[in-house]
Homo-oligomer: A and B are copies of this chain.
Amino acid sequence: MDRARVGLKDVARLAGVSVKTVSNVVNGYAHVTTATRTRVEAAVKELNYRPNLSARNLRQGRTGIIALAVPELDVPYFAELAGLVVACAEERGLTVLIDQTGGTREREQLVVEGFRAHLIDGVIFSPLALTPEDLAGRLDDTPMVLLGERVYPGSADHVVVDNVAAAREATLHLAGLGRRRIAAIGAQDDVAAETSRLRLAGYRDALEEAGLPYDDRLVVPVETYRRADGARAMAALLDSGLAPDAVFCFSDPLALGAMRTLLERGHTVPGDVALAGFDDIEDGRYVTPTLTSISPDKRALARQAVDLLADRMSKGSQDVAREVRVAYRLAIRESTNG
């Protein structure tokens, strides 16, 4: 028997009722006699009937699917976030479909243009390379919530972390340990690299506040925020002879890469060099030394994003874009506190 072709009306015929009644039962509507209900349920089971979601979606004008667009799933921060978003969405009966943008502007523009229009009811989007202009001319009216940065105020709902303040706090912590030559790993040349710019700003603020000079040779650019880049950047820093006594890394993987280089070359952490990261991924709590890191409330981030999106989906588009700020804290661990 080809089960793929069992429809509402097959069930109706078998149960001796109309399609409407079957539909009512399937959707759990109230006014159905217990007797009819039982009969219909039996027929459903016998035929192994499954509602065709495409048809339901077409009729209802919604799919119950939301997209989550992130740069890469194998970056732990995004993996953890994705897991949380999937879980939150499910609580609301929503299914999550994943887009990997690779952090490239081209693919991020596609997301903004709504290349999955009518398939998804909304999108949660963590952009990396997107510019304000890309957002400004947005035609697609699929509800969208942006994560991480206030890329373009007023254009969409945002869930943000105060990157400047957080970076400042991490750097001040390093300065507070008496470190004088505090390097930064994670600068990016790309004009669109908003995250990098904000964290760098916080770093500079902190230096100034601590009365330390800003030395741009201590600021190392990276291609991506991965471990390999952190390792490379740290090597460059050590080879430069500038002898930093602390490093603030703009992500945890960068910090873990840097830590690897330091330990590999026989330096101690935090003895010779104190190390702080950003994101508080699980790895950081199990390396030795454990990693001091800015810990954004990822659970809240995911929940707020889903809530905001769900609200937008039900209420329709209002003109006013909302911004929700999520808490963070500095988790001080062995890499600065050995």
Interface of A with B (CB < 8 Å)?
A: 2-4, 48, 50-55, 57-58, 61, 63, 65, 72-74, 76, 79-80, 82-84, 86-87, 90, 95-100, 114, 116-119, 139-141, 227, 231, 256-257, 259-260, 263-264, 282-283, 285-288, 290
In contact, B287 and A260 (Cβ under 8 angstroms): yes
In contact, A83 and B73 (Cβ under 8 angstroms): yes
> A58 vs B52: C-alpha distance in the bound complex, in angstroms?
8
Q: Residues of B contacting A290 with CB < 8 Å?
A: 260
B54, B97, B100, B139: the one contacting A83 at CB < 8 Å is B100
Known: A58-B54, A58-B55. A74 touches B282 (CB 8 A): yes
Give the number of copies in the complex. Answer: 2
In contact, B4 and A141 (Cβ under 8 angstroms): yes
B76, B84, B140: the one contacting A79 at CB < 8 Å is B76
In contact, B100 and A97 (Cβ under 8 angstroms): no
Q: Residues of B contacting A97 with CB < 8 Å?
A: 65, 95-98
B53, B118, B256, B257: the one contacting A118 at CB < 8 Å is B53
Q: Residues of B contacting A63 with CB < 8 Å?
A: 54
In contact, A82 and B98 (Cβ under 8 angstroms): yes
Known: A51-B118, A53-B116, A57-B54. A98 touches B100 (CB 8 A): no
